[in-house]
Amino acid sequence: MKNFLVHNDEVKKEMLKSIDVNSIEDLFKQIPQNARMGELELEDAISEMETQKEVKALAKKNNTDYISFLGAGTYNKFIPACISQVANRFEFLTAYTPYQPEISQGTLQIMYEFQTMICRLTGMDISNATMYDGASACAEAILMTVRISKKNKVLVSDKLNPEYIDVIKTYCWSNDIELIMFNEIPSETADFACVLVQNPDFYGEIKTYNKPECLFIVCTDVSTLGILEPPRDADIVVGDIQTLGIPMNFGGPHAGFIACREKFMRQLPGRLAGRTVDADGKPAYCLTIQTREQHIKREKATSNICSNQALMGLCATLYLTVMGEKGFRQAGYLSTKIAHELSAKLAQKGIKTLNKNFFNEFVIEVDNSDKFLSKLKENGIIGGLKLDNKKILVAATEMNSKEDIEKYIINI
């Protein structure tokens, strides 16, 4: 491929002449002037050295020294330094979404290993090679159950992450699916395509669910599955993998997954990698059972808007590999231990925890949420997520120390 050269005025005139147009402005004359973007009013160009100074000055406005007890779907987790070093290698960065996939054996192997790890964690038979995020994974799982059951009514827990619910509402509206929210699973569910619950739920509560009569979708935080039992009663398990070696990144990007029983694999959206042998009998990896519109005819695709987050999946695979079973379990144990210690110390100060059973996230009740959080923030602590005027969602991870807890208690 030749280097790209910007078109000069002579080339532009030649191109316009070939399509019988006098000017570039004529190309847009059918668009009303009031619908067009005005001038960008950019400042004059500056040198690279001046740009670096400007960017550094802007970066200093970000305060990264807060002690964080935020959760609600994005968590401050320990990430081994080697993960970014490997994930940023050009072999992965330039080949994460190949259109001739078999040429990228390394990427395909990572996808295969990711799928295997997700299956081991969730207790499911089959997993895809990532989704855009946990929200789209939930919505796509619902579409799966509608295709499988031929029913267009679904039940979704009102304790699911609110952002996930918003995405689900959009998917259901555009696909003429009747969405019914519930607090407790109804006794009669046979007329529905599925029941979707989150466990632990958005508020951190761990619950035990009986298998409904319809298809059962469980949204889970995979980082809890080193300690909690996997949702083996589910037909489909979905979730977000941000807790597996992916930084908070100001709220994104994340990645999600869908895992399911083997009998549903042909309804699974996204990409699936399989392992076989080549002509020499050596292990080889390839895409298989393709349901993705970029690899098959669009009208036959299970989803034409699902994305593939292979680089995020790479980070998750590296994280699980480096941490190992023991390290993964220890990180979960520390998160739980620290959260329960914080809850106990808050109780000593007269602040009630509303959860009965929780992993590392819980809801507290205070007199005034804004006042409570503002005082903590003044002392360098992000104390949690305000739910309403009296309730705050608090999360702790292995990154929070005993000193962090003491500082939290002292400054409330």
The pLDDT of residue 287: 86
- Tokens matching residue 253: 């990007």
How would residue 100 be classed by pLDDT, with cut points 50, 70 and 90?
Answer: low
Q: How confident is the model at residue 262 (pLDDT cuts 50, 70, 90)?
A: very high
CA distances from 215 to 39, 116, 401 (A): 53, 23, 41
pLDDT at 82: 95
In sequence order, what are the beta bridge partners of 276? 284
Q: pLDDT, tens digit, for every residue of 37-74?
A: 878 888 888 999 999 999 999 998 888 889 999 999 99
Give the model's pLDDT for residue 310. 85
- Greater model confidence, 29 or 180: 180
**Tokens 């959860």 belong to residue:** 355
- The helix (run of H) or strand (run of E) holding residue 331 is helix 310-348
**pLDDT reading at 97 higher than 70:** no
Q: How far apart are CA 292 and CA 320, in angstroms?
A: 27
Q: pLDDT at residue 2 above 80? A: no
| % residues pLDDT > 70 (the chain) | 95
pLDDT in tens, 169-184: 999 999 999 999 999 9
Residue in the block written with tokens 């007329």? 191
- Residue-level pLDDT at 1: 45
Torsion of CA 27, 31, 37, 38, to 10 degrees: 80
Q: Tell me what the mean pLDDT of segment 230-252 comes to.
A: 94
Q: What is the DSSP string of 139-196?
A: HHHHHHHHHHH---EEEEETTS-HHHHHHHHHHHHHTT-EEEEESS--S--TTSSEEE
Q: Which two tokens stand for residue 113?
A: 């290993």
Residues in the chain: 412
Q: What sign has the CA pseudo-torsion 184, 187, 193, 195?
A: positive
In this prediction, residue 294 carries a pLDDT of 66
With a cut of 80, say whether residue 131 has pLDDT above it.
Answer: yes
Report the DSSP beta bridge partners of residue 78: none
Going from the N-terminus, what domains does the chain have, and what CATH number goes with each? 67-79+324-410 (3.90.1150.10), 82-318 (3.40.640.10)
pLDDT band with cut points at 50, 70 and 90 for residue 3: low
- How many angstroms from the chain centroid is the CA of residue 235? 20
For 263-315, what is each residue's pLDDT tens digit?
999 999 988 899 999 999 999 998 888 776 666 677 777 876 666 688 899 99
Higher-pLDDT residue of 29, 224? 224
* The pair of three-digit structure tokens given for residue 383, joined into one six-digit string: 């104390």
- For residues 254 and 248, what is the distance between their CA atoms, to the nearest angstrom? 9
Asked if the model's pLDDT at residue 227 lies above 60, the reply is yes
Residue 366: burial class (beta carbons within 10 Å; 0-12, 13-18, 19+):
buried
Contact in structure between 76 and 399 (CB atoms under 8 Å):
yes
Q: Would you say 221 and 243 are in contact if contact means Cβ atoms under 8 Å apart?
A: yes
Question: Cα–Cα distance between 377 and 68 in angstroms, integer?
Answer: 10
> According to the model, what pLDDT value does residue 319 have?
97
- Measured between its terminal Cα atoms, the distance across the chain in Å is 62
Amino acid identity of residue 352, one-letter, is K
pTM reported for the whole predicted model = 0.86
Which residues lie closer than 8 Å to 103 by C-beta, 6 or more apart? 95
Q: Cα 245 to chain center, whole Å?
A: 12
pLDDT tens readout for residues 311-364: 899 999 999 999 999 999 999 999 999 999 999 999 999 999 999 999 999 999
